[in-house]
């Protein structure tokens, strides 16, 4: 019988096998966290003029700042609960919140630009859905 050891979210046996779904979820979580941390911090740090020049739709400044705060909070929520293994149920909730943001991004991009331009926010939303489902059903992180 193989003995099991637990590292940060990855289960491995003495035979060297790694749960591939868990590894894929960690890679996806990390990539999404980087994307949303970058996008959210840019919305928080840019001036109103810079933001208006980069956007096809004229959203109010307060709304863009709110979305930036939500994106940064979502990025932190994707990583911190799973790494600390405290309140690990917050990771799928953060992913669900980011899915809502990405639905809005897909719709606004499709309206303002084109449907093909909306494929990137759609792919990001699908990755967030993978994390939400995966951390709930496929490879949940156990609490301390």
Q: Where are the domains of the chain?
A: 29-138
Mean pLDDT, the chain, rounded, equals: 89
DSSP3 helix / strand / coil % (the chain, rounded to 5): 70, 5, 25
Model confidence over 72-90: pLDDT tens digits?
999 999 999 999 999 999 9
Beta-carbon contacts of 93 under 8 Å, excluding residues fewer than 6 positions away, are 77
> Cα(34)–Cα(76) distance, rounded to whole angstroms?
10
Report in angstroms the alpha-carbon separations of 26 from 4, 44, 47: 19, 26, 33
Model confidence over 17-35: pLDDT tens digits?
669 999 999 999 999 999 9
Model confidence over 112-128: pLDDT tens digits?
999 999 999 999 999 99
Beta-carbon contacts of 120 under 8 Å, excluding residues fewer than 6 positions away, are none
Give CA angle at 133 (31, 141), nearest 5°: 75
Question: Is pLDDT of 12 > 60?
Answer: no
Q: Enter the tokens of residue 140.
A: 């949940």
Predicted local distance difference test score (pLDDT) of residue 58: 87
């Amino acid at each position: 019988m193989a003995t099991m050891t637990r590292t940060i979210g990855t289960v491995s046996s003495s035979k060297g096998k790694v749960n591939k779904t868990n590894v894929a979820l960690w890679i996806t979580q990390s990539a999404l966290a980087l994307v949303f941390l970058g996008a959210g911090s840019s919305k928080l740090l840019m001036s109103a003029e810079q933001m208006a020049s980069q956007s096809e739709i004229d959203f109010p400044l307060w709304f863009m700042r709110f979305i930036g705060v939500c994106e940064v909070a979502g990025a932190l929520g994707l990583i911190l609960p799973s790494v600390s293994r405290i309140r690990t149920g917050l990771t799928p909730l953060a992913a669900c919140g980011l899915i809502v943001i990405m639905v809005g991004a897909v719709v606004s991009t499709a309206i303002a630009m084109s449907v093909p331009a909306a494929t990137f926010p759609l792919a990001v939303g699908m990755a967030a859905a993978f994390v939400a489902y995966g951390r709930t059903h496929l490879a949940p992180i156990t609490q301390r």
